[in-house]
């Protein structure tokens, strides 16, 4: 299996090299990356495979394991005119099972600025612009392999089929205020997996066909039926909305405040899914220290999600992270990040999951010998406690460590 994944990864890298060399039409540009990495896990089984681990990769029935994984991201841009284009983000995951799908796709109109006011509008399947860290190609991070807990959940469950106008006012060549407002549908399930599973830290961006899995057990206590949810569904035929206000000085930093509310009917239900009323606030700050070649980033989120089909079920969720990225030289970068996360659930009396609290430390080293190549070594350690009622309240503490080494080719 490892050999097969390695061959897939080498094929992706070779295909990316060929794509880079091929000249595309004036109206079409394709950016992207191919990624090959080696992972060492401990024996904790990941939640994405039915366990209780907080990381993307985990152990199996035989305990800790070594893995080789390959993936790729493609961002085609079709230029209709100087002001109108179409952008797509496609993800190819070479795991087991492998999949290929659309993570984001929209039409964008951006008229040329004629004054201090600037205007842009996007329409389509959108990732709301709440992330401060995932600003790389195909919504990836430029500083780590593993995303923060906040960005992980945004990439899993928060997606909007709608329209998003953006207005910018520029005081001068550097200072500006941006206001974004979005009106959307097809995100009535947002909050389901966060309430039932809790936070995670990984870098797997959901696509339109994604099915998210809850745990099959809480430690040694089996769950009667595993939760499988489709995050991008419309149930009540009423739109949600989000907004983001950002004040920035180019080359110095920015501060951003955002609010999201899917306005879902918590009593609505489909054949296999139910509506969760989910809303949250987020506040983020990014500060550049050019003389020290360092960037400081911090972001916090607090929200609430609720279901009301039979008996009230609700969860308060909150997370915060802070990171420091420092350029040792033009080709070398080191990043350290600390995450804290918590959920507090008010569930049915018989429910096992009562919430969690945890923190994570991430350290990454990046070497970019050329614009097209990036080599990364990363270590992540997560310590978390889950509160169970079985029937008395108990705390279960787990420690997880994941090591990764990856090579990424950009085209």
Domains for the chain: give ranges and CATH numbers: 2-410 (2.40.160.10)
Cα(13)–Cα(35) distance, integer angstroms: 7
Q: At residue 159, does pLDDT exceed 60?
A: yes
Residue 386: per-residue pLDDT: 78
Measured distance CA(193)–CA(195) in Å, rounded: 5
Instruction: Provide the Cα torsion 169, 290, 136, 176; round to 10°.
Output: 0
pTM of the model: 0.91
- pLDDT value of position 305: 95
Return d(Cα 203, Cα 95) in angstroms, integer.
13
Phi, psi of 259 (to 5 degrees): -135, 140
Q: What is the pLDDT of residues 287-298, one digit of tens each?
A: 999 999 999 999
**Which of 82, 80, 140, 131 lies closest to 106 in space, CA to CA?**
80
Question: Is 161 in contact with 125 (CB distance < 8 Å)?
Answer: yes
Give the tens place of pLDDT for each residue, 330-373.
899 999 999 999 999 886 544 556 788 999 999 999 999 999 99
| Structural contact between residues 256 and 284, judged by C-beta atoms closer than 8 angstroms | yes
Q: By mean pLDDT, which of 138-142, 212-216, 218-222 is the weakest? A: 218-222
Reference 240, options 165, 149, 175, 159; nearest CA is: 159
What integer pLDDT is reported at residue 219 of this predicted model? 55
Structure tokens at 39: 């992972």
CA–CA separation, 166 vs 161, rounded Å? Answer: 16
Q: In this predicted structure, what is the pLDDT of residue 258?
A: 98
**CA-only gyration radius of the chain, Å:** 21
3-state secondary structure 299-366: EEEEEEEEECCCCCEEEEEEEEEEEEEEEEECCEEEEEEEEEEEEEEECCCCCCEEEEEEEEEEEEEE
Residue 284 in contact with residue 132, Cβ under 8 Å? yes
Question: Residue 8: pLDDT above 50?
Answer: no
Give me the mean pLDDT over the 210-236 stretch.
73
Reading the block at residue 301, the tokens are: 């989120």
């Amino acid at each position: 299996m490892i050999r097969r994944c390695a061959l897939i990864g080498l094929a992706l890298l070779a295909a990316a090299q060929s794509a880079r060399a091929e000249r595309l039409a004036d109206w079409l540009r394709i950016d992207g990356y191919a990624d090959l990495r080696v992972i060492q896990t401990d024996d904790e089984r990941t939640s994405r495979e039915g366990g209780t681990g907080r990381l993307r990769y985990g152990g199996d029935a035989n305990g800790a394991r070594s893995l080789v994984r390959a993936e790729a991201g493609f961002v085609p841009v079709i230029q209709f005119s100087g002001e109108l284009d179409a952008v797509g983000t496609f993800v190819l995951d070479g795991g087991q099972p492998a999949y290929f799908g659309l993570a984001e796709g929209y039409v964008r109109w951006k008229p040329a600025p004629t004054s201090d006011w600037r205007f842009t509008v996007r329409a389509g399947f959108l990732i709301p612009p709440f992330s401060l860290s995932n600003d790389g190609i195909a919504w990836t991070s430029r500083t780590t392999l593993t995303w923060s807990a906040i960005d992980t959940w945004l990439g899993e469950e928060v997606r909007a089929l709608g329209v998003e106008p953006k207005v910018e006012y520029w005081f001068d060549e550097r200072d500006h205020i941006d206001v974004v407002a979005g009106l959307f549908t097809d995100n009535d399930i947002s909050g389901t997996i966060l309430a039932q599973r809790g936070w995670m830290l990984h870098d797997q961006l959901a696509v339109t066909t994604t099915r998210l899995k809850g745990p099959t057990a809480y430690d040694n206590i089996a769950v009667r039926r595993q939760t499988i949810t489709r995050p991008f569904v419309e149930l009540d035929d009423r739109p949600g909305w989000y907004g983001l206000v950002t004040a920035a000085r180019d080359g110095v930093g920015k501060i951003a405040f955002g609010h999201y509310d899917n306005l879902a009917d918590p009593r609505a239900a489909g054949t296999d899914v139910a509506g969760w009323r989910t809303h949250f606030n987020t506040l983020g700050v990014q500060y550049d220290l050019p003389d020290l070649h360092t960037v400081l980033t911090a972001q916090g989120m607090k929200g609430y999600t609720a279901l009301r089909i039979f008996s009230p079920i609700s969860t308060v969720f909150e997370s915060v992270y802070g990171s420091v990225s420092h350029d040792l030289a033009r080709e070398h970068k080191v990043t350290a990040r600390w995450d804290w996360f918590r959920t507090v659930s008010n569930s049915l009396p018989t429910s096992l999951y009562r919430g969690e609290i945890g923190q994570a430390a991430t350290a990454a080293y990046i070497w970019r010998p050329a614009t097209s190549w990036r080599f990364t070594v990363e270590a992540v350690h997560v310590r978390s406690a889950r509160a169970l009622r079985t029937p008395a309240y108990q705390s279960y503490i787990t420690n997880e460590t994941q090591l990764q080494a990856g090579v990424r080719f950009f085209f």
